[in-house]
């Protein structure tokens, strides 16, 4: 049985993961409006990843005898000034998610909930990868600033990204 404290915090994280998905879908729509289908694709893959992350928490909470309580998803931003701003916001958001995951780990340790701590280690590793991937694209965009040809080449590269549900492979 999972503690009420961890149950509450995981429910909050489920909401945060769905909000993240909604944010990335909004970013995808923004890139479609800018005729950057590769960037839109990259954000749609992010959307799919966030949904899978939320479902991993959802399933875990159910497996541990907790009660999932879904909350409304708050509105997300829909407009940005440019591609760099989108990825700056994406990096900041992923850093916030890392903070949330770390707080969950801290709670699991305080509660001596070894099962939850173990499950959360997957998210700790995932966040390292998420931040690194976003930062790499951000740094490329900064280097390319004003270079439309380079932007189109990066767009083509990002078009190749496909969704692989890592949560299923690592359960």
d(CA 167, CA 162): 15
Q: So what's the pLDDT on residue 54?
A: 98
Q: Please identify every stretch of the chain with a pLDDT value under 50, giving residue numbers as ranges.
A: 170-171
Residues 155-171 pLDDT 10s: 999 999 888 888 875 44
Q: So what's the pLDDT on residue 57?
A: 98
Q: So what's the pLDDT on residue 37?
A: 98
Q: So what's the pLDDT on residue 164?
A: 87
Domains of the chain: 4-169 (1.20.1260.10)
- Long-range contacts of residues 70-76, Cβ cutoff 8 Å, at least 24 apart: 70/11, 70/14, 70/15, 70/18, 71/11, 71/15, 73/15, 73/18, 73/19, 73/22, 74/19, 76/19, 76/22, 76/23, 76/26
DSSP 63-82: HTT------PPPP-----SS
């Amino acid at each position: 049985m999972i503690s009420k404290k961890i149950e509450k915090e995981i429910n909050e994280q489920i909401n945060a993961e769905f909000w993240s998905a909604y944010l990335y879908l909004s970013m995808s729509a923004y890139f479609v409006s800018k005729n950057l289908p590769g960037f839109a694709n990259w954000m749609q893959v992010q959307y799919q990843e966030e949904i899978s992350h939320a479902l991993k928490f959802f399933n875990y909470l159910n497996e541990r005898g907790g009660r999932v309580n879904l909350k409304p998803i708050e509105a997300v931003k829909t407009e940005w000034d440019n591609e760099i701003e989108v990825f700056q916001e994406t990096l900041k958001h992923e850093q916030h998610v890392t903070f949330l995951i770390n707080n969950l780990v801290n709670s699991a340790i305080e509660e001596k909930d070894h099962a939850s701590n173990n499950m959360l280690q997957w998210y700790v590793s995932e966040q390292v990868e998420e931040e690194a991937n976003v930062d790499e694209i951000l740094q490329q965009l900064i280097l390319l600033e004003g270079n439309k040809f380079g932007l189109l080449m990066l767009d083509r590269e990002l078009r190749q990204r496909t969704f692989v549900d890592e949560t299923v492979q690592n359960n």
